[in-house]
Amino acid sequence: ATNFDIRNNCPLTIWAAAFPGGGRELSKGGVWNLKVSPGTTGARVSGRINCTFDKVGRGRCQTGDCGGLLQCRAYGAAPNTLAEFSLNQFNNLDFMDISLIEGFKVPIEFSPTSGGCSRGIRCTTDIIGQCPKEMKAPGGCNNPCTVYKTDQYCCNSGNCGPTDLSRFFKARCPDAYSYPKDNQTSTLICPSGTNYRVVFCP
């Protein structure tokens, strides 16, 4: 299994969400060691803010809520800064990215910690403070696809390009996906068997 070292460096509590993997409350400085099976695809780690859960893990989060459960069984609600990955794929490679396609919520760094793969990716700018007014959301900044749901922003028909609103995200986080076709600069590739670290507020 691949080990993901998920850390909270934020000055507030983050409820980490992983699909697959569940969820964990991380106070400042908290660490969650998550093991993920080889061959896992379409996986993601994100951070939820302002959550309240009861003893059996039912409740609500202001941002990133995943069905009212501490232990996520599905993707969380936008806006969400996402660390996305697919493990042990084509040519025995892992593919990772940071995505702002569901908006921005928590600054994040996603980096390899083993396997001779050294470059990490990050998105740490104050996007919430600079968020265009039509994109503002409680605790975050929406991506235009979430707000408008049109082909121009969501690339539903498969052919779309960058827009002024997607460029807002790209200018601030060049390592991250800003719209669905933003592949060239946004995917990190490492050999399978590499371990990784995801840091909130690096």
CATH 3.40.470.10 fits 2-200, yes or no: no
What pLDDT sits at residue 105? Answer: 95
* pLDDT-based confidence at residue 156 (cuts at 50, 70, 90): confident
DSSP conformation class of 76 = P
Question: In sequence order, what E strands does the chain have?
Answer: 2-8, 14-19, 22-26, 31-36, 43-53, 59-63, 82-89, 93-99, 108-112, 121-123, 136-137, 140-141, 188-191, 196-200
3-state secondary structure at position 23: strand
| pLDDT score at 160 | 87
Amino acid residing at 86: S
How does pLDDT run across 169-191, given as a tens digit for each residue?
A: 999 999 999 998 887 677 889 99
| pLDDT computed for residue 151 by the predictor | 92
Tens of pLDDT, residue by residue over 121-139, are: 999 998 999 999 999 999 8
Residue 92 scores a pLDDT above 90: yes
Domain ranges of the chain: 2-200
Examine the pLDDT at 115 and tell me if it is beyond 80. Answer: no
pLDDT at 158 over 80: no
Residue 119 confidence (pLDDT): 87
Taking residues 64-93, report their average pLDDT.
Answer: 94
